[in-house]
Each structure stands twice: as C-alpha cells, then as structure tokens.
Amino acid sequence: MLAWVVLWAVVFEALFSVGFFASAGAAAVLLPGTPSASPVAAAIGGPVALLLGVLLYHRAPRWAQRIRLRRLRSTGVRATATVAWCQTRYKQWGKGVETSTVTVRSTWSDPSGEHAGNQRYRFLGDPPKRFARCLARGVRVPIRYPAGRPDRFIVDIRYAPGMIEQFRRDHGRS
C-alpha cells in the first residue's frame, strides 16, 4: 500500500511540474515581456496543473483496471461466478451530490474448492440500469484472478472499480 502512495505522490509531483512549467511558458508567449517566473505565470500554471491532476486522478483507476484485466486475461485463472446478492447504498455528500455504492456477492468453484467474495462499485448518482441487469441475483458473470489467489478476483465486466477498492474488499464475508 505504501508503494502505491509513493507512486501517486511521484506522479502528481511530475504532473504538477509539467503543467506548471508548460503554463508558465504559455503565459510568457501569450503575454510578451512577462518573465516566465512571474506571478501571472504562477496564477495560470497552478490551476492548469491542478486540473491535470484531477483529470488523471479521475481516469487512473479505469486505466489501472484495464491493465490488470489485460494481464489476468493472459496469465490468470478464469471462472464463472453466480451473483448471490446485490445491494445498493446511497450517501448524500452535500447539496445535490449523491453517490451510490453497489456491493455484489459472488460465489464460484474451481479445482481448489468453493469461493465467495464481495466486489464494490461506486457511482456518482444512481448506477446505470444496464449495470443492474449485468449483476442481478442469479446472473452468471466471468471472473478472473491470479493463479492461487482467488481472494484477488475481479468481475470481468465493463465497470471498473476505483483503485481503493483493489485493497479494501471484504472477501468471504457476508
């Protein structure tokens, strides 16, 4: 977990530096006679770098999930699980901002025995109706996991969980 925190810190620092200096250079070109280290360049570079950081933070979990699924598709174990239950919880974060967390309990068997685990998906607002149909009770879904590690399973559907869900799943608990 610490390695991920350090990796994110390095990525954000690099992103902030690139965004800041690129914006400062653009400010110097757009505003001739202004040195690149001026307050105007900093006023433009800071928000641009922050915007790039937010964009990366929003999209990175999807990219990481795609990379992980691609790796698991070539080297991992494939199984078919049955959705035992699906529960949606809503949380209000302020005026008009609501998130929903969908917890899906899946069970499957492989040569090493019977397995079960929960997977969480978070959405801003209601989950898409197509998502609910994909994970309705009794539906069979493809899952993938590293060989010998069924507790690290991923339900192989289009909706990627956030990075934190990769480390905070409650496997085997009901």
Number of structural domains (the chain) is: 2
Q: How confident is the model at residue 170 (pLDDT cuts 50, 70, 90)?
A: very low
Residues facing 113 on adjacent strands: 110
**Do 69 and 82 sit in the same domain of this protein?**
no
Dihedral sign for Cα atoms in the order 136, 138, 143, 147: positive
Give the residue numbers spanning the domain of 64: 2-73
Residue 174 lies in a domain: no
For residue 144, what are the β-bridge partners?
78, 154
Asked whether residue 1 carries a pLDDT value surpassing 60, the answer given is no
Identify the domain boundary among 73, 99, 121: 73
Where a domain ends, among 73, 100, 133?
73
Query: What is the CA 9 to chain-centroid distance, rounded?
Result: 17
> Looking at the DSSP assignment, which residues form a beta bridge with residue 105?
85, 118
Q: What is the mean pLDDT of residues 36-53?
A: 68
Same domain? 91 vs 115: yes
Contact between 86 and 103 (Cβ < 8 Å): yes
Q: Against a cut of 0.85, is the pTM above it?
A: no
- Strands 113-124 and 140-145 turn out to be unpaired
